[in-house]
Amino acid sequence: MTPEDQWHLQREKGLAWLRAGFAIIAVTVIQLNPSRMARFPWLSYSSLLLFLLYSLVILFLTQREKTNSRKIAIATTGLDLVWVSLIVFSTGGSRTPFFIYYLFPAITAASRYGIKGGLVVSGVGATIYAFIRFGFPWETPLGVDVFFVRTIYLAVFSYIFGFLSEFEAKQNRKLLALSKTAAEVATLEERRRIMREVHDGLLQSLATHILRLEMCRRHFLHSPPELEAELRAIEDDTRNFMKLIRQFLAGKETQAFPPGMMLEKLRGDLNFLQDGLGLHIILETHPEDISLPQTVEQDVYYVLREGLANIVRHAHASRAVIIVKKENNEVMVALSDDGVGFDVNEEKNGNGFGLTSMEERVRRHGGTLQRRSEAGKGTTISFSLPIPTAY
């Protein structure tokens, strides 16, 4: 059931309770003044009891979640007019105390179909009442002026409720549109988060495993002890990697390392790049032991790892420098290499997801990622992130 259908059903539930209340009041009034049924007693009793029974049936149907509220609305709009007209006719005609009951079908039609629906039903009700008033002889006929006044306020009430109903419907449509837009944005953001986590976490880990396996093939085939040690390390990392995948599939937040271990994790990656690939990397930290909030250090690590992966894949560099500096509630990070570089303006037109992920991680902490590069002169990536004062 859509939110709009739920709203329509809730409205029909409220009208059903109101209709049942009107029916009970009508029966009570007749019990207090039986003389109202003196002319048509059988018709009066029948119309009142059937109206009560009909009201209870509609009330029961609207309590079921699978009820088609639109079909109920169409059926009850006509039936309400029929029952009210019978009650009005059988309880006094022109002098009946139940003329006000014509307001109920008029107001319900206005709440369902707006101004036009309310005015049409009020017009039909006034026409039926005019037929009752002028088509039969009554002991105490009602003046024409009273009839017109009643018709006017019936139309006025229908117009007011129709206007309010249309205004409410417009607001509900706006809310539904905003809700749909918010849901789409949330879905898109969740999709991007999953893509980011898969790329920065799972895919980067797989890429690292590939590099380590290539290193085994190139350097350790003739050194069984070193090959065995490296394969055991890869095996252990694969088990940890599988744990991360299970956590990710279970919807849990995955972490590349325990809180406070960013530098140790980073140094381990740098040792592998230096020993396995021959890339000389210098890591400078100020102060030497930097403490950062968990979310900040996780994103700083992922950005640096993506930057290092780009150096390995594209830069053809022999040397890289990482500087991580913390001062005045701010952490400043820079990664530079002596590789082939690239044209930044041309690269902006073909950004891959890796760079987009780096920018998003920096931006969600209030920072901006900057890139400086020239062909043949290496590349520098830098950013700074504010650190919460409460940390």
Residue 198 lies in a domain: no
Higher pLDDT, 93 or 78: 78
Of 182, 201, 230, the residue at which a domain comes to its end is 182
d(CA 244, CA 153) in angstroms, rounded, equals 70
Residue 275: C-alpha distances to residues 6, 16, 211, 278 (Å) = 64, 78, 12, 6
- Average pLDDT, integer, range 208-229: 71
- Average pLDDT, integer, range 377-391: 84
pLDDT per position as a tens digit, 95-116: 677 788 888 888 888 888 888 8
Query: Closest Cα to residue 333, out of 358, 311, 364?
Result: 358
Do both 172 and 315 map to the same domain? no
Of 166, 182, 198, the residue at which a domain comes to its end is 182
d(CA 38, CA 65) in angstroms, rounded, equals 43
Residue 91 lies in a domain: yes
Of 182, 208, 236, the residue at which a domain comes to its end is 182
Question: Which residues span the domain enclosing 148?
Answer: 3-182
- Average pLDDT, integer, range 135-158: 77
Name the strand (E) or helix (H) holding 334. Answer: strand 330-337
Do both 14 and 100 map to the same domain? yes
Residue 250 lies in a domain: no
Quick count: other Cβ atoms within 10 Å of Cβ 135?
10
Q: Which residues contact 384 (CB under 8 A, 6 or more apart)?
A: 330, 331, 332, 333, 367
Q: What is the value of pTM for the model shown?
A: 0.48
Do both 17 and 114 map to the same domain? yes
Do both 291 and 174 map to the same domain? no
**Cis peptide leading into 287, omega within 30 of 0?**
yes
pLDDT per position as a tens digit, 301-330: 889 988 888 888 888 889 999 999 998 889
d(CA 232, CA 217) in angstroms, rounded, equals 15
* CATH number of the CATH domain containing 275: 3.30.565.10
Count: domains in the chain: 2
